[in-house]
Amino acid sequence: MLFRRVPVGEGAAAEVCFTDRHDGDFANSRADADLEPLRQAIFEGRWTWLKQVHGDNIVHVAEPGQSAGAEADGAVSSANGAVLCVQTADCVPVVLISSQAVGVVHCGWRGLVAGVVRAGVDALRAEGGETIRALIGPCIRPGSYEFGRDDLESVAAVAGSTARSVTDAGAPALDMAAATIALLHAAGVTDIDDLGFDTAQDRWWSHRTRSDDGRQTTAVRLVRS
């Protein structure tokens, strides 16, 4: 489990957590009650978890727990203590932080094509704060992500040539993190911290490399004293 605390102003901070396979299985297909002890061990209070559908819908959370179970691929909130989360195995989890609000976005390749990155950034701006910082959590890296040429071109059409890469074996690959960063730049976000973790490593759940059913979670909340 990896924690980050990012000060955002006097008496306020964004608290971020990235779990790994040692922290338990956060797959959102499991019963919500089964996951509750795992969630409360990270952040106390009511969580907004999502039924992720690889689209571009972002929910606005006005109070802790609002929109839990919504079909969406991101959430934003300026409410004190509201915990927002996404679950991933190989997709890119992005945390968005401004002085007034926080957000989290699940970025699969279909979501990237659908525009989920810009949707998340625009939703956070609507909650307040023009200056946005982004954190990129553990995701599959191109060395282990062989990708079909037609789908690769679909991503490159929206994210640019940086999306194209090759696997360790020399096959066509999608660079999910690079594509996400390019789309963040296009949305006006330049302060980006890619933590560099690769879900192909044994520390993480990975559907692509090990056919894992489990998921790690990325959670964020805004706290004010």
- DSSP label at residue 146: B
Environment class of 124 (CB within 10 Å of its CB; exposed 0-12, middle 13-18, buried 19+):
buried
Q: Which of these, 139, 119, 128, 137, lies nearest to 184 by C-alpha position?
A: 119
| pLDDT value for 225 | 82
Q: Where are the beta strands (DSSP E) in 78-163?
A: 83-88, 92-97, 102-107, 133-136
pLDDT digits (tens, 9 = 90+) for 154-185: 999 999 999 999 999 999 999 999 999 999 99
pLDDT digit of tens for each residue in the chain (225 aa)?
999 999 998 889 999 999 999 999 998 656 677 889 999 999 999 999 999 999 999 999 999 999 999 999 999 999 999 999 999 999 999 999 999 999 999 999 999 999 999 999 999 999 987 899 999 999 999 999 999 999 999 999 999 999 999 999 999 999 999 999 999 999 999 999 999 999 999 999 999 999 999 999 999 999 998
CATH topology of domain 2-224: CNF1/YfiH-like putative cysteine hydrolases (3.60.140)
How many other C-beta atoms lie within 10 A of the C-beta of residue 162? Answer: 17
Distance CA 155, CA 153 (A): 5
| pLDDT value for 28 | 64
